[in-house]
Each structure stands twice: as C-alpha cells, then as structure tokens.
Amino acid sequence: MPIHSFHPPQRTLMGPGPSDVSPRVLEAMSRPTIGHLDPRFIEMMDEIKQLLQYAFQTKNELTMPVSGPGSAGMETCFVNLVQPGDTVVVCQNGVFGGRMKENVERCGATAIMVENAWGEAVDPGKLEDALKKNGAAKLVAFVHAETSTGAQSDAKTLVDIAHRHDCLTIVDAVTSLGGTPLKVDDWGIDAIYSGSQKCLSCTPGLSPVSFSARALEVIKNRKHKVQSWFMDLNLVMAYWGSGAKRAYHHTAPINALYGLHEALVILQDEGMENAWRRHQHNHEALRAGIEAMGLSFVVKPEARLPQLNSINIPAGVDDAAVRKELLNSYQLEIGAGLGAMAGKVWRIGLMGHASNPRNVLLCLGALDDVLSRAGARINKGIAVAAADRVLS
C-alpha cells in the first residue's frame, strides 16, 4: 500500500513542550529556502543575534542559536567549558539536573551533586556549603526553571554564590526564556542555554545560547580540544561571528531559523515585560480554577513557574487514561510526570503562544468533564467560572 502525505491533527499543546506554534512562525518557515551563506541570510543571522540578546537581556557578543534542540545547547555549554579533570558542582532538583551530571562526567570531569527535593527550588545554603568543601571547583551548573517539576530557582543568588567562590556558571533556561524574568547581564550568568519550542512558540530544533566574555576566554584558552567537533565554539564562531564574511561550518537549518526570527520578532513586538506579565496572569487564572476544583499544586507559590504547572493527580485516578481522554475528546495534550514524579503529577504548560485565556478555560473545562466522568472526587462545574473571574 502506498504511503501518502502526512497531515497531523489539530491539537492544543498544553504539556511541557512543544507548545503551540504561532501561525506567523509557521508561515515564515514556508518561505523560499536560500543558501546558508547567502548575503540576505547573513543579514537575518545578525538580526537573530540582536533579537536573542534582547530575549536573554544581554550584550554578550557570543549569543546565537545552536542547530539542535535544547539538549544540544546544554551539551554545547558543557563541552566547551568543562575539561578533563575539572570539578563541577551540579545542583539537582529534578530530571534535568541529572542530565547536567551526565554531561560533566562525559567531559571527563567530576560532578559534585547538591541534591534538593523535587518540586522545590535549589537551596542557596546547600550550594554555599558544597563550594566551601570543594575549593577546586571551577563551575556551578543549575536549572533555572526545572521542567520536570515546575519549580523555579533564584538564579541571581546562585550565580552570586558561585562567583564569590571564583566559579563560572552554566544555567538551563529551556523553560524560562520568554516566559519568566531572566536577566543574563544583570545576574552575571556566564553560559546559558534554552530551546525554541517552549515560551518562544517556535518549532523544536534550535537552542539559543549565550556566553559571557569571561566564559569566552575560557573557551579560547582550553588545554584540551573540545570533545565535540560540531559543538566546538572555536569553530562555530567563524560562522556565527561578527562581520559580513562567514566561514562555512555546517549547513544551517535555514527555514527553522526563519521561524525563530519571526518568533523573536513577535516577542520583541509584545515586549519582554509584557510577555512575563501575560504568562503570570494566565497562570493565576489557571490556579484559581485548579484550586476551585479541589486539586493542588506540587510547588509552593514562591517557587512556582507560571508557564509550567505541576498538579497532583487525585487519589484513585488513572493518569494515562485521563490524558488519553483529553486527547481524544478535546484534542488537548497535557504532560505526564517524569522520573520520581511519573504517575503522580500532570504537567500543564502555559507557554508562549499557548499562554492565553482561551486555553486556560479549555483546559479547566476539559479536566472538569473528564475527571467527573472518571468518578474523581472534585468540585464539579466551578473551575471555569473561578478562572474567568481572574481573567476578567
């Protein structure tokens, strides 16, 4: 039997990512492909750098999108800054801190783990203690917005502690960029990576990164070759560096970069602080509905991410069955728990283009219906009205 063109269903994406993509971004990606060394494409690359500097709130010259998903951005930071024999302090409060540890060890370095409870922010006191005990540490790595739990850590405080101990910092901002306050220069972050598919409302496959001048000096003066040829910034900079003449490194994902450019223009036009406020406002409406229904959040209010909400699954409710019914009846995707939280929580995303009042009300109405039919002990029929009062 012949295989025909693939036509995906129209879903509403309210999981941990990808999020709904703006129609403007999809249209941009359908524009004619030109060469990755075409002068007009080079002009667009320069604009992407400027737009990413705005998104990250930085003047770092080395700010660009890595050709790969957020995991590629993570690996780019680690393989360029971590050398064999280094000691790196890694703060873990969820799944993605564990991936940082994996990167450290694959670079031939030693990872000193600062363990924090899942669903809680990284404890600055624990980081301080670890650095006092490990004076040889050269870097501190932590997740700003832990996607597996919905917890946000105090990045500025953690960076300040690291710098007092003469350590560089690597920060995971995959879920925070564009959705919650993030100020690379003001906070002194040395290396940071994110993803295109979360609060930027672009398609998956690109990872914005930014490196401080201090981090760049470390990269340029390494004793060992970067273990990855593709991610070696000493080579990549020849393509993404300043000036009209660019040296070929790899064939950039041209149409995906059109999409990222458009997504960043949308963010610029809305204004960064307006985007932060929008995510917070829609979160408050969702919270009102969730709590009116009788459900509870995993993360305490002071550490709660507005764009990624972890909800405790009611006793006796089948996690997978509810998510399947939401998908079948409402074309609505929410996320399952990861790692230690698998089967215990749902992760509801309100990210980027998907962070809007319509989605808040759709999600609450759908959950009310599906949980009621499943016999869950909830307060029926009041969640939507509770959220609507916040929205209006």
* Whole-number pLDDT of residue 351: 98
Pair 278, 259 in one domain: no
β-partners of residue 92 are 115
Pair 183, 255 in one domain: yes
Q: What is the mean pLDDT of residues 279-300?
A: 98
* Whole-number pLDDT of residue 118: 95
The domain of 182 spans 23-269
Using one digit for the tens of pLDDT, what is the confidence trace for 100-145?
999 999 999 999 999 999 999 999 999 999 999 999 999 999 999 9
* Whole-number pLDDT of residue 243: 58
* Whole-number pLDDT of residue 69: 94
Closest CA to 47 of 194, 273, 267, 354: 267
| Higher pLDDT pick, 339 / 262 | 262
Q: What percent of the chain has pLDDT over 90?
A: 96
End-to-end alpha carbon distance in the chain: 53
Pair 265, 278 in one domain: no
Identify the CATH number of the domain in which residue 318 sits. Answer: 3.90.1150.10
* Whole-number pLDDT of residue 171: 98
Global confidence as pTM: 0.96
Asked whether residue 8 is domain-assigned, the answer is: no
Q: Which long-range contacts (CB under 8 A, 24 or more apart) does 159-167 make?
A: 159/187, 159/188, 159/189, 159/190, 160/188, 161/124, 161/127, 161/128, 161/131, 162/89, 162/127, 162/131, 163/188, 165/131, 165/132, 165/135, 165/137, 165/140, 167/89, 167/131, 167/137, 167/138, 167/139, 167/140
Q: What is the mean pLDDT of residues 185-192?
A: 98
Q: How far apart are CA 301 and CA 54, in angstroms?
A: 28
Six token digits for residue 59: 């003047």
Using one digit for the tens of pLDDT, what is the confidence trace for 215-268?
999 999 999 999 999 999 999 988 887 654 688 899 999 999 999 999 999 999
* Whole-number pLDDT of residue 246: 80
CA 380 to chain centre: 33
Pair 241, 96 in one domain: yes
Asked whether residue 170 is domain-assigned, the answer is: yes
Asked whether residue 100 is domain-assigned, the answer is: yes
Report how many domains make up the chain: 2
Q: What is the mean pLDDT of residues 181-193?
A: 98
Q: Which of 269, 300, 333 is the last residue of a domain?
A: 269
Q: What is the mean pLDDT of residues 143-158?
A: 97
Six token digits for residue 125: 């006191």
Closest CA to 202 of 315, 69, 93: 69
